[in-house]
Structure 1
Amino acid sequence: MGRAVVVVYLISYLVGIIVAKKILTIIYRVEGNVVGLFIGAFVGLLSTLAILHPLIFGFTLLSS
């Protein structure tokens, strides 16, 4: 049960990373300046947090 949850989380966040990269390339083409870089850094931070959260959650599920 716990492993299935982890697998689903990992797949969903891999998809999330791909979508985030597509959004970043679109933003970079539209802005192409400092604003685009700031938005990119912010989205990157959010996606990193989104990746770390399910990993921590998944490991706590597996260890319990």
Structure 2
Amino acid sequence: MSSSDASLQRAEELLERLKTRVDALEASADGGGDVDEAIDGLAEIAEIAKEIEAEVQRARQAADAGA
């Protein structure tokens, strides 16, 4: 597996984690969830999004290096 493929696979795994966290946050909101819990959830979502962005950037760099 190439470096770019590994980065893309990691990004896909992170995307699934992000979707799960968003779903949990939406369920909490629908149930009248705690504001502090929502803030923590949003912070976690933001962190996962940053990780996805970093993996995509790594994939681009690896692909450019191989081109």
**TM-score calculated relative to the size of structure 2:** 0.63
Percentage identity across paired residues of the two chains: 9
Q: Structure 2: any 5+ residue segments left out of the alignment? A: none
Runs of 4 or more, structure 1, over 4 Å off, are: 25-31
Residues 51 and 14 (structure 1 numbering): CA distance in 2 closer, same or farther, change over 3 Å? Answer: same
Give the match for residue 48 of structure 2.
47
* TM-aligned CA deviation for residue 62 of structure 1: 0.6
Q: Give per-residue Cα distances to partners, 1:6-52, cap 9 Å, x unaligned.
A: 44123212222223224434655787132122112211211111111
Aligned pairs, number:
64
Residues 25 and 37 (structure 1 numbering): CA distance in 2 closer, same or farther, change over 3 Å? Answer: same
